[in-house]
Amino acid sequence: EADIYQTPRYLVIGTGKKITLECSQTMGHDKMYWYQQDPGMELHLIHYSYGVNSTEKGDLSSESTVSRIRTEHFPLTLESARPSHTSQYLCASSEVYPSTDTQYFGPGTRLTVL
């Protein structure tokens, strides 16, 4: 079944650790996105990609980085996690043709940095 997956679902780590949040989709979508959802539930775009080897920063400044080496895979990395990174991270994807407007979301990763 075509879907979008995120692992881990929950992560609790200490300050200074390097972490990678995984996002994969089996829908063949070219476009992928990372959103950060703060405890107040507001969502902000932090990264997006329109295809392999294409990545752009979003509206919200983030210390995270992303890569897009394969179409289906869009991991997000924090080199040195801090308590301010505590948040929920949502990955999304959308197709280019025939319609590019609808984004499909993964289940999210809830990150807590102690």
Partner 1 sequence: AQTVTQSQPEMSVQEAETVTLSCTYDTSESNYYLFWYKQPPSRQMILVIRQEAYKQQNATENRFSVNFQKAAKSFSLKISDSQLGDTAMYFCAFMKHVSPDKLIFGTGTRLQVFP
| Residues forming the site for partner 1 (CB under 8 A) | 31, 33, 35, 40-45, 48, 50, 56, 58-59, 90, 92, 94, 100-108
Q: Which two tokens stand for residue 82?
A: 């801090």
Q: Please enumerate in sequence order all residues whose Cβ is within 8 A of that of 40, keeping only pairs 6 or more positions apart, or say none.
A: none
Shorter beta-carbon distance to partner 1: residue 80 or 100: 100
Question: Among positive and negative, which fits the CA dihedral 1, 102, 33, 8?
Answer: negative
Shorter beta-carbon distance to partner 1: residue 16 or 51: 51
Shorter beta-carbon distance to partner 1: residue 17 or 44: 44
Q: How far is the CB of 88 from partner 1 (least distance, A)?
A: 10
Helix, coil or strand: residue 34: strand
Shorter beta-carbon distance to partner 1: residue 8 or 16: 8
The closest of 88, 55, 57, 89 to 74, measured between CA atoms, is 55
Q: How far is the CB of 109 from partner 1 (least distance, A)?
A: 12
Q: How far is the CB of 102 from partner 1 (least distance, A)?
A: 6
Span between the terminal Cα atoms of the chain, in Å: 36
